[in-house]
């Protein structure tokens, strides 16, 4: 599993595409947080990074499927999937190794955003005026959403041997899981609307963003991860 993990990391950073994807992600976040008037922290006037945590899931919806689209589909298209299956690794171990590599890439993409917190701490009046519980709760929630999207993207990659199709499927599934249930809940009323909204990833992400890491939110997100990883194993086993 370690060899496969390192192979995935090296494959991503072995070409210009990997660096380009991460650079575009950080540039997009930087423009949202510091430049665009409607979301700029400097224009907002408060020592707050709400714009970072509000808009990053939108960027994740496209970034993470772009990272995961080649994970399995490229192996199947190039014919190396059969060779990989003959290695002394079970199908579950292969999926977990690829998933852990995706998690590492997501963590590397999110890690530089800690510099934003340092900047806000220095810009605050007085210095250090930042809701640290809210920030780290939101940051943990962001990692959890990224981990869930990575599992969804891996599942999409297991469905097809075409990377573009895997990307489109990944974007669609991430969009539905994060935004779709919330939109559906707004069209319903009563207790049904409440239960539907609880199925939305955005509901649990917003809950974590309040600075309180609730075990119910963490269990739900971990459950979603295991559901999509298990679905990937079942799909590949049937194929």
pLDDT at position 128 = 66
pLDDT at position 47 = 63
pLDDT at position 165 = 93
Instruction: Band the pLDDT of 40: cuts 50, 70, 90.
Output: confident
Instruction: Band the pLDDT of 211: cuts 50, 70, 90.
Output: low
| Spatial CA neighbour of 5 closest among 88, 97, 86 | 97
pLDDT at position 120 = 78
| pLDDT at 188 exceeding the cut of 80 | no
CB neighbour list of residue 151: distance below 8 Å, 6 or more residues apart: 99, 224, 225, 226, 227, 228, 229, 232
Tell me the whole-structure pTM to 2 decimals. 0.89
Sign of the torsion angle spanned by Cα atoms 84, 12, 5, 145: negative
Measured CA to CA, the distance from residue 30 to residue 116 in angstroms comes to 9
Average per-residue pLDDT for the chain: 85
Residue pLDDT, tens place only, 90-112: 999 999 999 999 999 999 888 88
Cβ–Cβ under 8 Å, residues 108 and 22 = yes
pLDDT-above-90 percentage for the chain: 27
pLDDT at position 93 = 92
| Spatial CA neighbour of 147 closest among 110, 196, 199, 93 | 110
| pLDDT at 13 exceeding the cut of 70 | yes
Angle, CA of 216, 219 and 221, to the nearest 5°: 110
Measured CA to CA, the distance from residue 205 to residue 221 in angstroms comes to 9
Instruction: Band the pLDDT of 157: cuts 50, 70, 90.
Output: very high
Q: Residue range 200-225: average pLDDT?
A: 83
């Amino acid at each position: 599993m370690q060899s496969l993990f390192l192979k995935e990391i090296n494959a991503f950073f072995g070409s210009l595409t990997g660096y380009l994807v991460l650079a575009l992600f950080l540039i997009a976040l930087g423009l949202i947080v510091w430049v665009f008037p409607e979301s700029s922290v400097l224009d907002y006037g408060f020592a707050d990074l709400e714009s970072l945590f509000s808009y990053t899931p939108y960027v994740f919806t496209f970034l993470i499927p772009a990272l995961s689209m080649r994970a399995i589909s490229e192996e199947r298209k190039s014919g190396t999937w059969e060779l990989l299956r003959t290695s002394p690794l079970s199908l579950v171990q292969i999926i977990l190794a690829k998933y852990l590599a995706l998690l590492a890439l997501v963590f590397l993409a999110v890690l530089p955003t800690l510099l934003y917190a340092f900047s806000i701490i220095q810009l605050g009046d007085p210095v250090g005026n930042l809701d640290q519980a809210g920030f780290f709760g939101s940051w943990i929630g962001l990692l959890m959403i990224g981990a869930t999207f990575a599992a969804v993207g891996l599942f999409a990659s297991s469905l097809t041997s075409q990377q573009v199709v895997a990307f489109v499927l990944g974007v669609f599934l991430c969009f539905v899981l994060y935004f779709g249930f919330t939109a559906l809940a707004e069209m319903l009323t009563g207790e049904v609307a409440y239960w539907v909204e609880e199925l939305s990833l955005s509901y649990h992400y917003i809950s974590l963003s309040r600075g309180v890491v609730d075990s119910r939110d963490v269990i739900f997100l971990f459950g979603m991860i295991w559901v999509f990883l298990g679905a990937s194993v079942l799909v590949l086993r049937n194929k």
